[in-house]
Amino acid sequence: MPGLMKTTSDITKTNILGYTRETLRAKLAEMNIKPFIADQILDWIYKKFKLDFSEMVNIAKEIRARLEEAFEIRFFKNIETLESDGGRATKMIITLNDGKYIEAVVLREKKYNTLCVSSQCGCPVDCKFCLTGVAGFKRNLESYEIVGQILLANQLGHPISNLVFMGMGEPLLNYDNVFAAINLMNAEYSFHISKRKMTVSTSGYIQNIKRLISEKNYINLAFSVGHANPSKRVVLMPIESRNPIMEVVALLHEYQTMHNRKLTLEYTLIQDKNEDDQAIRELSNISKYLKAKINLINLNPHPKIPFRPVTTKRLHEVRDLLENSGVPVTIRFRKGDDISAACGQLGESCLG
């Protein structure tokens, strides 16, 4: 597939992925190339998924030669794909240009595809029920590496219409690159995906929730609760010690009063840890205060995660308890667990 793994050893070239239309037009103007060429380049990349200047045939050959000298369309070093037996998920194992690994997952619905996007290589948050935390933190992804995941999915024949930042990493710990990528993917000249079809998951990083508020930066959020009781949450999610859930909830309440975007509480059920009736009542109280939907996720097991999921019977009992308390609740059914692509399972390729 042309351009899929395009790399270069010429460090003087600038990577064109991640340029906005405005910044690319300005760069071309410095090179005495007419600004409309930027529109043609972006159309080839984001609409036709061509990553080689030689294929951009509506651009004059001499200009293409100059572009080739000045820019590279650096993508990823290598990719592998794994298909779920049920055909509902494709995991992309991506080798970055520095040799590190990330994973992203295409989730197939009847009428559309969702891409589960990674924002970091590994994760520093260390939620005890998530394999990505076991892999440890390597680095933040650049905005072009985030955009590259959806570009790759489309190039592999999986048209993407919805995005969830629920892959590897804590998106709000890579705020600038994540929202640069979101704004680019939302742009009309790029993938033109509505922000209402994008969801950013967070374990509750207070500093950048405040930044969302101060910048009036509105997006669908999904807050990973773990446990509504702070003393029990900190055992599962060490981030609690620095970002107390009660402060997070207060900030989310403020944020939600500013817009009408969706808020979801993600709750991973763990046997004997957070599935007792009292824990569910505390979760229900937070949901009511925030007017948020609850998404129940039965733990996806892995040999390196020291917990077990609840029984199917208990999963349904918890759902019924929440429904009877008057809060909206859904169950996220497993997709791709046979290829370690389900929620909380990404990062196996990083373990070595």
Find the farthest-apart pair of alpha carbons in the chain and give their distance in angstroms, rounded.
70
More confident residue, 123 or 341: 123
Q: Is the pLDDT of residue 48 over 90?
A: yes
pLDDT score of 10: 42
- Report the candidate in 289, 300, 290, 287 with the shortest Cα–Cα distance to residue 329: 287
Structure confidence by residue, pLDDT tens digits, 54-71: 999 999 999 999 999 999
> Cα dihedral sign for 234, 239, 242, 246?
negative
Q: Provide the pLDDT confidence category of residue 41 given band limits of 50, 70 and 90.
A: very high
Between the alpha carbon of residue 101 and those of residues 8, 110, 175, 319, 343, the distances in Å are: 19, 30, 20, 36, 18
| pLDDT confidence bin for 301, thresholds 50/70/90 | confident
- The DSSP H or E segment spanning 173 is none
- Tens-digit pLDDT profile for residues 147-203: 999 999 999 999 999 999 999 999 999 999 999 999 999 999 999 999 999 999 999
Looking only at the bridges linking them, the beta strands covering 263-269 and 293-298 are parallel
What is the distance between the alpha carbons of residues 146 and 116, in angstroms, rounded to a whole number? 11
240 is catalytic: no
Q: Which of 347, 295, 299 is nearest to 126 (CA)?
A: 347
**pLDDT one-digit tens code per residue, 224-277:** 999 999 999 999 999 999 999 999 999 999 999 999 999 999 999 999 999 999
Amino acid occupying residue 20: T
Confidence of residue 335 (pLDDT cuts 50, 70, 90): low
Identify whether the C-beta of residue 209 lies closer than 8 Å to the C-beta of residue 251: yes
3-state secondary structure of 269: strand
In the three-class reduction of DSSP (H, G, I as helix; E, B as strand; rest coil), residue 184 is classed as: helix
Catalytic residue among 130, 343, 348, 350: 343
Confidence of residue 1 (pLDDT cuts 50, 70, 90): very low
How many Å apart are CA 51 and CA 154, to the nearest integer? 12
Examine the residue annotation and report whether 103 is marked as an active-site residue of this protein: yes
Which domains, ranges and CATH numbers included, belong to the chain? 14-72 (1.10.150.530), 78-350 (3.20.20.70)
Question: Which is the catalytic residue, given 103, 142, 240, 282?
Answer: 103
pLDDT band at residue 87 under the 50/70/90 scheme: confident
Predicted local distance difference test score (pLDDT) of residue 46: 94
Residue pointed to by tokens 């969801």: 199
Where is pLDDT greater, at 335 or 42?
42
